[in-house]
Amino acid sequence: MLNLSFYLLTAAVLLGAFIALSYTGLIRWRWWPGVIHGALGATGLAILLFSLSGPPRGVEFGVQSFGLIAAALVVAGLLIGLGFAALNLFAKRRVTWLVGAHVTVAIAGYFFLMAYVVF
C-alpha cells in the first residue's frame, strides 16, 4: 500500500511539473491536467494515511516518523492547492506566490515520503 501511495504521488509530482510549464508561459493552460493532478495527489494521500496504521518502518535508520511528517506536509499542500484552484476558478485570479507555497510544501512532503519508503 505504501508503494502504491508513493507511485501515485510520483505521478502527481510529474504532472505538476508539466502544469508548471503553463505558469512559465511555455505551454497553453488547460484545466484537465490540474484536475488529474489533484485527483492523483488526493488518492495518493488517502492511501498513505491508510498505510501509516501498519507496523513502524525505518526505526533502525531513525526515519520512523517520516511517514507522518510526509502525510502532514502533503495535507498542507493539498489544502494550499485547493485554495489557489478556488481562487483561479471563482475569482479568476492566478496567485503565483501561492503556487510557490504549494510546490514547496508538497515537494518537501514527497521527499519525506521517499526517505520513508526507501528506508
pLDDT class of 115 with cuts at 50, 70, 90: very high
- Asked whether the beta carbons of 13 and 110 are under 8 A apart, the reply is yes
Domain boundaries, the chain: 2-118
- Asked whether the beta carbons of 48 and 5 are under 8 A apart, the reply is yes
- pTM here? 0.92
pLDDT, tens digit, 9 for 90 and up, residues 14-72: 999 999 888 788 888 788 999 999 999 999 999 999 999 988 889 999 999 999 999 99
Distance separating alpha carbons of residues 107 and 111, to the nearest angstrom: 6
Question: What angle is formed at CA 3 by the lines to CA 50 and CA 10, rounded to 5 degrees?
Answer: 105
pLDDT class of 93 with cuts at 50, 70, 90: confident
